[in-house]
Amino acid sequence: MLLRKWIAGGVCKSHARLDGRTVVITGANTGIGKETAKDMARRGARVVMACRDLTRAKNSAEYIRRSTGNGNVVIRHLNLASLYSVREFAKEFKATEERLDILINNAGVMMCPKCITEDGFETQLAVNHLGHFLLTNLLLGMLKRSSPSRIVNVSSIAHVGGKIEFDDLFFDKRPYSSLLSYKQSKLANVLFSRELAQRMKGTGVSVYCLHPGVIRTELNRHVLAWYPMLKTILSLPSMLLMKTPWQGAQTSIYCAVTEGLERKSGCYFSDCTEKDPSPEGKDDEVARRLWEESVRLVGLNNRH
């Protein structure tokens, strides 16, 4: 069916092996994170699944070990809504692991009701951007030592039309909109990737961000809770119009393993192809300002 093929999008064609390499994937116990972890394991990598729900992570890790024949798949606890948890994860990782070749910042929340984290941040910006910002910065030393290495940030086409509201990042002053908050957090992913790529020039660490496609995963649960009618309307068409998690993982995998992609550091990808991000995603001044503000919010003393 041509429509299905078109929706499925690009497929990563690289056969690159990852024997002796270590890959960290956040949110690896479900959806595209799980498919990405399975692919990395199949390529021979040591896969560290950084997950909040350890019970589900354990089941996913067992499934991945069994289906790939790679026993070198481990789980570590990581709650991106807690800066303490991010720091603990990084500390343990650096104490127990030798290297880090690929960091895939995949975990995310989508259009959830307004919640405030223990650090006082609105959840979508906290999980989708600030938690990953801190995690990446804490692991940069290892990534540099293991270079050439890669950082892959899963963003979304939802960054288009997004805006970083520096005066009200957490919707303290204006009415909360789960959609505007989501767009802001996904734009933050694009701008973070852009600024980080600049800062990593000459270090052997390259950075990519991507839109995985519209995928049938649990991420949609809050959208369907807000608009129950959509559940009925979407159930049949969505089976035709949404990517499977395997298809959705292809661009993450492409950015993680494709040979010769280093010169594309800082770029945005969709369907295993470089694409232009929105004008908002190319604003270097906003990217720099977001970096400085993120450093302040997460309490990063040693600036990278």
**What's residue 304's pLDDT?**
45
Q: How confident is the model at residue 230, as a pLDDT?
A: 55
CATH of domain 19-215+246-297: 3.40.50.720
Q: Which tokens sit at 300?
A: 């990063």
Query: What is the token pair recorded at 301?
Result: 């003393």
Amino acid at 20: G
SS3 state of residue 150:
strand
Measure the CA–CA gap between 82 and 202, rounded to whole angstroms: 32
Phi, psi of 268 (to 5 degrees): -115, 135
- Cα atoms in the Cβ-side hemisphere of radius 13 Å centred on 278: 20
| 205-211 vs 149-154, strand pairing mode | parallel
pLDDT the model gives residue 242: 81
| pLDDT for the residue numbered 234 | 53
State the pLDDT at residue 8: 56
Q: Is 85 left (phi over 0), alpha (psi -120 to 50) or beta?
A: alpha
Provide the pLDDT for residue 10: 87
pLDDT number for residue 233: 54
Measured between its terminal Cα atoms, the distance across the chain in Å is 49
Instruction: Please calculate the CA angle 255-258-259 and round it to the nearest 5 degrees.
Output: 135
Residues near 36 by beta carbon (within 8 Å), at least 6 away in sequence:
25, 28, 104, 106, 249, 252, 253, 256
176 catalytic? Reply is no
Q: Is 303 left (phi over 0), alpha (psi -120 to 50) or beta?
A: beta
Task: State the pTM of this model.
Answer: 0.92
Spell out the domain ranges in the chain.
19-215+246-297
User: What's residue 227's pLDDT?
Assistant: 58
pLDDT at 140: 98
- Show the low-confidence residues of the chain (pLDDT under 70): 1-8, 216-241, 302-304
Q: Which of 182, 208, 254, 268 is catalytic?
A: 182
